[in-house]
A = this chain, B = another copy of it.
């Protein structure tokens, strides 16, 4: 495992929320070229050590966000994204396995991946925006 990969994995592992490539590129412990960052994020995801999804946010535009994934347990999380403060809230482990296999049986397809996330206003931003009445 190269230095770049170790460094990226470390940031993902210790991050509370999904992080974008641009965020990683600016991160002090990631002193690698953007191409290296992108290439290794792909690598980590291929190896089952990271998860990602694409989200559009008014402030940061359309970007892919990555989070650490333990190769052992197959679990991944889903997230809520606040449109004001742009923070993520962890909704916990994915609970869609059953629903997915029901769909697989109903339609005959095989699901390789799924994307699910919420966007809206978090509790804090809702109250600070309430002044707009």
**A residues with CB within 8 A of B:** 54-56, 62, 80, 82-83, 89, 91, 100, 103, 107-123, 126
Contacts and interface: CB of A to CB of B under 8 A. Distances in A.
Given A54-B54, A115-B115, A120-B110, A103 B83 contact: no
Contacts of A121: 109-110, 112
A61 to B, nearest CB: 11
Given A56-B54, A62-B62, A118-B100, A109 B83 contact: no
How many identical chains are in the complex? 2
A109 B91 contact: no
Interface of A: prevailing SS: strand
Contacts of A118: 100, 103, 109, 111, 113-114
A103 B80 contact: yes
A117 to B, nearest CB: 6
B80 A108 contact: no
